[in-house]
């Protein structure tokens, strides 16, 4: 059985991808922290390792996995890779 993989994206409250801020500057993208795994897919454990390196006392609840990246940047969300 294949493991469930997640991709991490920068999205606003309306669900639109964030590429540039209001001033036209590039918005910080998850791959700067999570590496290529944020694009190609990463497991829950791989995501947790990155988060714990930055926030050692983070509380990672198994029911809120899509919100884990928001601990680093509030606009970053994970979703299950479907392809």
Considering just the CA atoms, what is the radius of gyration of the chain in Å? 13
First vs last C-alpha separation in the chain: 15
Q: How many domains is the chain partitioned into structurally? A: 1
- Is residue 28, in this structure, part of any structural domain at all? yes
Give me the percent of the chain exceeding a pLDDT of 90. Answer: 81
Assigned domain for 63 exists:
yes
- Reduced to 3 states (helix: H, G, I; strand: E, B; else coil), residue 42 is strand
Please tell me the predicted confidence (pLDDT) of residue 36: 95
pLDDT in tens, 51-74: 999 999 999 988 899 999 999 999
With a cut of 90, say whether residue 15 has pLDDT above it. Answer: no
Tell me whether residue 1 is in a domain: no
Q: What is the pTM of this model?
A: 0.86
Q: Which residue range is the domain that position 11 belongs to?
A: 6-80
Model confidence at 45: pLDDT above 90 = yes
17: which DSSP letter?
B
Q: Which of 20, 15, 25, 21 is nearest to 66 (CA)?
A: 15
2 CB-near residues (< 8 Å, 6+ apart): none
Q: Answer whether 31's CB lies under 8 Å from 50's CB.
A: no
- pLDDT of res. 17: 92
Query: Does 14 reside within a domain?
Result: yes
Residue 43: pLDDT over 90: yes
């Amino acid at each position: 059985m294949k493991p469930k993989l997640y991709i991490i994206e920068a999205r606003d409250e309306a669900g639109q991808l964030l590429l540039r801020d209001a001033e036209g500057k590039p918005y910080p993208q998850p791959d700067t922290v999570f590496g290529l795994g944020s694009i190609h897919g990463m497991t829950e454990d791989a995501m947790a390792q990155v988060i714990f390196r930055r926030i050692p006392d983070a509380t990672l609840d198994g029911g809120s996995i899509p919100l884990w990246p928001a601990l680093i940047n509030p606009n970053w969300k994970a979703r299950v890779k479907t392809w």
